[in-house]
């Protein structure tokens, strides 16, 4: 099997959590599966970079902000590759240019247009765990772009589609999709599964578990998603075709 796993910033916020993610990925790898990992920037690193930019220039250009913000994901994937190396596991980190993630030219809110998968497949063929930067791509003129809110989720689902992956898992700081925000509504109920259309409706109405663009890609290519927590082992929520939802 080929499995794409995406981990958000809180999941890789420090050394302990980075190794926790590495060990969870290693479980599937040791079963003989090919594993592609997509990472967000560590913790609040993106917010820190934005604040630092504002000190230099209160109104920086979108191009230079993309150049700056791409640092966060590159740190995450490099540290994760180092963690695997420390565990004697073959791994390689790839940024958007190396992974050939092509996008439109719109800085700050680019859309993925194509992913050339040759490099990733070559690395997987060597039994490496491939770690790819989320949230970023490369425009036609080779400028770095970022994908906007939920960009790492979008990267993961787009990679799953391009690689024809068998599974796509979205790890976050909540353990699934709820009927309401469980941090605000104590009576919110976790869903075992939900259709693409219902998830898209929730995303468009403010739910922050998955971004609408990510759900749209999953629906278009019929990629079942699993949303679960990286902090515990509870079953998550499956997002798939309405016909498959009980």
Q: Which has the minimum average pLDDT: 65-74, 106-115, 173-182?
A: 173-182
Task: Say yes or no to pLDDT of 242 above 80.
Answer: no
Domains of the chain by residue range: 2-173, 177-224+231-246
Cα–Cα distance, 108 to 121 (Å, whole number) = 28
Class of domain 2-173: alpha beta
Nearest to 76 by CA among 162, 153, 28, 7: 7
Q: Write down the pTM of the prediction.
A: 0.94
pLDDT digit string, tens, across residues 89-142: 999 999 999 999 999 999 999 999 999 999 999 999 999 999 999 999 999 999
Burial 135-160 (b: 16+ CB within 10 A, else e): bbbbbeeeebbbbbebbbbbbbbbbb
């Amino acid at each position: 099997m080929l499995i794409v796993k995406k981990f958000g910033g809180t999941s890789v916020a420090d050394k302990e959590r980075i190794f926790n993610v590495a060990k969870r990925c290693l479980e599937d790898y040791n079963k003989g599966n090919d594993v592609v990992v997509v990472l967000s920037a560590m913790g609040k690193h993106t917010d820190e970079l934005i604040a630092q930019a504002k000190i230099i220039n209160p109104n920086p250009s979108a191009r230079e902000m993309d150049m700056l913000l791409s640092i966060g994901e590159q740190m995450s994937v490099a540290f994760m590759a180092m963690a695997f190396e420390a565990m004697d596991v073959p791994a390689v980190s790839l940024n958007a240019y190396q992974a050939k993630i092509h996008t439109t030219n719109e800085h700050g809110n680019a859309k993925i247009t194509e992913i050339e998968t040759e490099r990733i497949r070559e690395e997987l063929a060597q039994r490496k765990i491939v770690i790819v930067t989320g949230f970023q791509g490369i425009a036609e003129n080779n400028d770095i772009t970022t994908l906007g809110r939920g960009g790492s989720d979008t990267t993961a689902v787009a990679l799953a589609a391009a690689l024809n992956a068998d599974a796509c898992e979205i790890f976050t700081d909540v353990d699934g999709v709820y009927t309401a925000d469980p941090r605000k509504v104590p009576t919110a109920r976790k869903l075992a599964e939900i259709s693409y259309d219902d998830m898209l409706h929730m995303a468009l109405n403010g739910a922050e578990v998955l971004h609408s663009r990510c759900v749209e890609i999953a629906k278009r290519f019929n990629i079942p998603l699993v949303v679960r927590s990286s902090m515990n082992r509870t079953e998550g929520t499956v997002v798939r075709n309405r016909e498959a939802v009980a």
